[in-house]
């Protein structure tokens, strides 16, 4: 594909080009003053739709393992990285205060020790809180540590942006309808001190709340907000349903759109670019385009429209998302989309592969790599869980499919991978984003793995710890250190638990045992129908076979040896062997289906509370099953990454 090369003179603003003819050249430094000026970013919004180039918007700021999402620290990091734009979410509290916060509940971000799988210890609704109550709490980062960051109000966020000298444009996605015009009023009040805010902040809202630009202007006037505030209406299937039930929207001159939503989108697409620089469309697939072709990509196959035009879309009393995309493109308005990136493992310092989480919708287990937090803070859902009736595909993760729609403004948690992809395709707006950066391996972005920008780990070594990873409380077990599940490649091959990190553990390693194991997600034709994705607990080894080194895989066998009352290690690791299959039933419990029939409860992996023996001065026990007795915390496990798998930048 031919790379766009628009090296015409563009200075701080288009007007300055005419006046001076000077060009601005950006340098990459850790100083926001060296970023592209906000005026330049503003100008680029007017060109990307016409030239079909791409600008990305960083969702929730540049949060990391230690920097919490939607915090002033995350936004400042975005400014430092010269992001073209960032997007954050606005919600309203019970006292009318407007805050920057993503979820409707606070557990994930504000409750120390919150367990998203079990939804414990507490997870209050955000809207039930006052600002005073909320700002007494500190944001918790992905590493689970309480930070010095508080939830900012919209005013505080924008004041900090101006004070810090941020040059990114700001998209404020207002989640609560009652907060839309209130947010516009906050921007208006700030503009009295710095008028530039009117060209730097864009308010994003459900199009059903203001189906036409005239209604938006009337809304702004009703609260005394500045009419110049920029709007980014979002049209989704839900919004379409609401708009089609509203009184008839006026016709577009010389256009025969038969439905309300098409007319609404067209009016916004026709509006002044300074008033509405972007329309975002929530579209999941190409159904609704008349003619499509099957294409392949690094992210899998997809159907792409042969042409993004109104003539290539279905028409009727109700419209399709494909037609709405075509209307936006017809009028060369920048088309916005959201690219979802599984965020349960994003920047995690915990386990990032080889295990499962429960679906909030189906209750079945699925691969952690596909997991998204729900906006209730709970874990988790997969994109397939959110299919509406009749939906069979969701291509939104596939950037090649997004490219086939000729999208322009892409919001995502991993904009680095998207920037890199579109730069390679010659479609990135390199005036707005002159120095795209490669995604960090520490981000653990599925998108970066799928596109090949970061090599996906083949496996992750883990340590499986009893007592939910807590340290032993008595000297006989190695006080002050956790107790781990160990493999056993020796003749009897029983599974056992023993100290993880003491000198005695080192002696066990010297004797040929290992506590560094690998879990992997597998499917079984019979049992996955009942439980979803399943887990195998394995120990990869190099053994001498016929005088030669050979890779050998051992698996934990959940079928009890009733004489020894213990589980064992075997080499028959085919997922068809149900004896090696485990299901995660909550955050700490792992059940073996080895002795189950389809509707029986699995037997749970447990450290024994009997039969203790001494090895290298400390006690060990065989691994058994929970039904043999009240095992308590001996049946509660935590899987932690092994230190051998620490990721380097």
At residue 8 the predicted structure's pLDDT band, cuts being 50, 70 and 90, is very low
Give the position of tokens 């299919």. 387
Cα–Cα distances in angstroms (integers) from residue 400 to residues 49, 235, 294, 320, 424, in the given order: 18, 22, 12, 21, 12
- Intra-chain end-to-end CA distance of the chain, in Å: 31
Q: Which residues contact 581 (CB under 8 A, 6 or more apart)?
A: 522, 524, 527, 534, 535, 536, 558, 575, 592, 593, 594
Cα 258 from Cα 266, distance rounded (Å): 12
Annotated domain spans of the chain: 48-341+383-451, 342-382, 460-640
Burial of 6 (0-12, 13-18, 19+ CB in 10 A): exposed
Please provide the DSSP assignment of 342-395 as one string: --SSTT-SS--SS-EEE-TTT--EEEGGG-EE-TTS-EEE-GGGGPPTT-----
According to the model, what pLDDT value does residue 611 have? Answer: 79
* Residue 518 contacts residue 459 (beta carbons within 8 Å): yes
Least confident of 124-138, 213-227, 565-579, 592-606: 592-606
Q: What is the pLDDT of residue 258?
A: 87
pLDDT of residue 317: 56
Whether 496 has a pLDDT exceeding 70, the answer reads yes
Mean pLDDT of 352-375: 96
| 168-190 per-position pLDDT tens digit | 999 999 999 999 999 999 999 99
Least confident of 162-166, 389-393, 413-417, 580-584: 389-393
| Contact of 174 with 190, CB cutoff 8 Å | no
Instruction: Return the H-helix or E-strand segment holding 550.
Output: strand 548-561
Is the predicted pLDDT of residue 160 greater than 90, yes or no? yes
- Identify the weakest region by mean pLDDT among 76-85, 324-333, 465-474, 541-550: 541-550
Quickly state the pLDDT bin for 318 (edges 50, 70, 90).
Answer: low
The proportion of the chain whose per-residue pLDDT surpasses 70, expressed as a percent, equals 91
For range 579-607, the mean pLDDT: 77
Reduced to 3 states, what is the DSSP secondary structure of residue 177? helix
> Whole-angstrom Cα distance, residue 480 to residue 458?
32
Instruction: Give me the half-sphere count of Cα atoms (radius 13 Å) on the Cβ side of residue 99.
Output: 25
The answer to whether residue 609 scores a pLDDT higher than 80 is no
Q: Which stretch of 52-56, 415-419, 523-527 has the lowest confidence by average pLDDT?
A: 523-527
Cα–Cα distance, 432 to 82 (Å, whole number): 9
Kindly write down the DSSP assignment for every residue of 512-537, as one continuous string: T----EEEEEE--TTTHHHHBSEEEE
Q: Phi and psi for 56 in degrees, rounded to 5? A: -105, 155
pLDDT at 137 > cutoff 60: yes
Indicate the average pLDDT of the chain: 90
pLDDT tens figures, 429-473 = 999 999 999 999 999 999 999 999 999 999 999 999 999 999 999
Q: Which residue from 110, 120, 123 is spatially nearest to 70, judged by alpha carbons?
A: 110
Average confidence (pLDDT) over 398-423: 98
Average pLDDT over residues 195-211: 98
Q: Is 115 exposed, middle or buried (0-12, 13-18, 19+ CB in 10 A)?
A: middle
- Cβ-Cβ contacts under 8 Å for 504 (sequence gap 6 or more): 478, 498, 615, 616, 617, 618
Mean pLDDT to the nearest integer, 114-118: 96
Residue 601 confidence (pLDDT): 55
**Alpha-carbon distances of 286 from 84, 239, 298, 323, 517, rounded to whole Å:** 29, 19, 18, 10, 43
The 3-class SS string of 335-349 reads EEEECCCCCCCCCCC
Q: How far is CA 368 from the centre of its chain?
A: 12
CB atoms within 10 A of CB 318: 15
Q: CA-CA distances (angstroms) from residue 563 to 440, 492, 608, 635? A: 51, 13, 14, 21
DSSP state of 433: S
CA 613 to chain centre: 46
Confidence (pLDDT) at 30:
43
Query: Whose CA is closest to 336, among 207, 447, 450?
Result: 207
Cβ 383 vs Cβ 397: under 8 Å = yes
Is the Cα dihedral 525, 529, 533, 538 positive or negative?
Answer: negative
Interval 375-401 mean pLDDT: 95
Beta bridge partners of 517: 462
pLDDT for 22 equals 30
Q: What is the mean pLDDT of residues 373-386?
A: 97
The residue written with tokens 């839309």 in the block is: 180
pLDDT tens by residue, 206-227:
999 999 999 999 999 999 999 9
Token code pair at residue 4: 């766009």
What pLDDT, on the 0 to 100 scale, is given for residue 215? Answer: 98
pLDDT of residue 29: 35
Least confident among 15-19, 302-306, 637-641: 15-19
Structure-block tokens of residue 419: 């920037």
pLDDT at position 31, please? 65
Strand partners for 279: 335
- Residue 496 burial (10 A CB sphere; 0-12, 13-18, 19+): buried
* Residue-level pLDDT at 171: 98
Q: Which of 145, 78, 133 is nearest to 109 (CA)?
A: 145
Is residue 630 helix, strand or coil? coil
Say whether 282 sits in a helix, a strand or coil. coil
* 599 pLDDT higher than 70: no
| Residue 629, pLDDT score | 53
**3-class state of residue 258 by DSSP:** coil
Burial of 20 per CB tally in 10 Å (0-12, 13-18, 19+): exposed
Query: What CA–CA distances, in Å, run from 43 to 14, 408, 529?
Result: 7, 14, 53
The closest alpha carbon to 454, from 443, 468, 469, belongs to 443
Rounded CA separation 500/513 (Å): 12
pLDDT at 224: 98
Which pair of tokens denotes residue 127?
Answer: 């809207």
Q: What is the pTM of this model?
A: 0.92
**Quick one: tokens of 135?**
């700002």
What secondary structure, in 3-state letters, does 448-487 show? HHHCCCCCCCCCCEEEEEEHHHCCCCCHHHCCCCCEEEEC
Structurally, what CATH architecture does the domain formed by 48-341+383-451 represent?
Answer: Alpha-Beta Barrel (3.20)
CA angle at residue 399 from 395 to 405, to 5 degrees? 75
Residue 60 has pLDDT above 50, yes or no: yes
How far apart are the C-alpha atoms of 631 and 124, rounded to whole Å?
Answer: 32
Any idea which of 28-32, 98-102, 138-142, 170-174 has the lowest mean pLDDT?
Answer: 28-32
> What would the two tokens of residue 40 be?
């330049």
Q: State the Cα–Cα distance between residues 411 and 58, nearest whole angstrom.
A: 6
For the segment 119-147, the average pLDDT, to the nearest whole number, is: 97
Q: What is the DSSP string of 567-614?
A: EEEES---TT-GGG-EEE-SSS-EEE-TT--TTSPPEEEEE-SS--EE
| Residue 582 in this model has a pLDDT that exceeds 60 | yes
Instruction: Tell me the CB-side half-sphere exposure of residue 648, using CA atoms within 13 A.
Output: 1
């Amino acid at each position: 594909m031919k790379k766009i090369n628009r090296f015409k003179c563009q200075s701080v603003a288009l007007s300055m080009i005419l006046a001076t003819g000077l060009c601005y050249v950006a340098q990459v430094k850790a100083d926001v003053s060296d970023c592209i000026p906000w005026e330049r970013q503003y100008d680029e919004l007017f060109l990307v739709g016409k030239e079909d180039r791409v600008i990305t918007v960083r969702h929730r700021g540049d949060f990391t393992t230690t920097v919490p999402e939607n915090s002033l620290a995350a936004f400042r990091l975005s400014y430092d990285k010269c992001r073209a734009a960032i997007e954050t979410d606005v919600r309203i509290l019970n006292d009318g205060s407007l805050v920057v916060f993503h979820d409707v509940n606070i557990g994930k971000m504000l409750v120390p020790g919150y367990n998203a799988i079990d939804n414990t210890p507490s997870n209050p609704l955000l809207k039930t809180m006052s600002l005073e109550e909320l700002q007494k709490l500190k944001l918790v980062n992905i590493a689970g540590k309480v930070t010095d960051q508080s939830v900012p109000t919209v005013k505080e966020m924008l004041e900090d942006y101006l004070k810090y000298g941020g040059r990114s444009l700001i998209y404020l996605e207002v989640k609560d309808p009652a907060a839309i015009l209130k947010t516009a009023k906050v921007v208006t009040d700030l503009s009295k001190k710095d008028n530039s805010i009117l060209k730097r902040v864009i308010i994003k809202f459900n199009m059903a709340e203001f189906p036409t630009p005239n209604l938006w202007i009337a809304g702004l006037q009703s609260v005394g907000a500045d009419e110049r505030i920029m709007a980014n209406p979002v049209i989704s299937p839900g919004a379409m349903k609401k708009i089609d039930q509203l009184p008839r929207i006026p016709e577009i001159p010389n256009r025969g759109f038969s439905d309300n939503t098409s007319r609404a989108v067209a009016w916004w697409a026709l509006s002044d670019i300074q008033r509405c620089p972007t329309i975002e469309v929530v579209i999941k697939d190409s159904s609704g385009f008349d003619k499509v072709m099957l294409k392949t990509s690094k992210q899998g196959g997809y159907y792409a429209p042969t042409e993004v035009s109104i003539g290539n879309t279905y028409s009727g009393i109700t419209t399709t998302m494909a037609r709405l995309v075509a209307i936006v493109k017809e009028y060369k308005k920048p088309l916005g989309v959201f690219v979802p990136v599984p965020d349960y493992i994003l920047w995690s310092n915990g386990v990032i592969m080889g295990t499962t989480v429960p679906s909030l919708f189906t209750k079945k287990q699925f691969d952690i790599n596909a997991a998204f937090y729900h906006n209730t803070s709970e874990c988790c859902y997969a994109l397939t869980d959110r299919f509406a009736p009749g939906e069979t595909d969701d291509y939104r993760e596939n950037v090649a499919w997004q490219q086939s729609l000729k999208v322009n403004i892409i919001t995502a948690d991993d904009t680095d991978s998207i920037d890199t992809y579109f730069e390679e395709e010659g479609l990135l707006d390199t005036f707005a984003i002159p120095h795209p950066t490669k995604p960090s391996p520490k981000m653990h972005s599925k998108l970066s793995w799928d596109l090949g920008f970061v090599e996906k780990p083949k496996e992750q070594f883990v340590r499986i710890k009893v007592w939910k990873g807590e340290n032993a409380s008595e000297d006989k077990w190695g006080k002050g250190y956790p107790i781990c599940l160990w493999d056993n490649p020796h003749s009897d091959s029983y599974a056992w638990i023993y100290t993880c990190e003491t000198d005695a553990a080192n002696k066990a390693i010297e004797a040929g045992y290992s506590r560094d194991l690998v879990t992997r997600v597998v499917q079984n034709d019979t049992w996955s129908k009942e439980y979803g994705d399943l887990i195998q607990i394995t120990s990869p080894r190099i053994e001498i076979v016929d005088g030669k080194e050979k890779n050998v895989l051992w698996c934990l066998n959940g079928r009890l040896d009733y004489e020894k009352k213990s589980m064992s290690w075997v080499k028959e690791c085919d997922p068809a062997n149900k004896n090696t299959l485990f299901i995660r039933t909550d955050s700490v419990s792992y059940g073996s289906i080895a002795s189950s029939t389809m509707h029986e409860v699995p037997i749970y992996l447990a450290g024994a509370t009997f039969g203790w023996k001494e090895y290298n001065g400390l006690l060990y026990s065989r691994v058994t099953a929970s039904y043999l007795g009240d095992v308590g915390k001996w049946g509660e496990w935590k899987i932690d990454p092994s230190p051998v798998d620490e990721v380097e930048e």
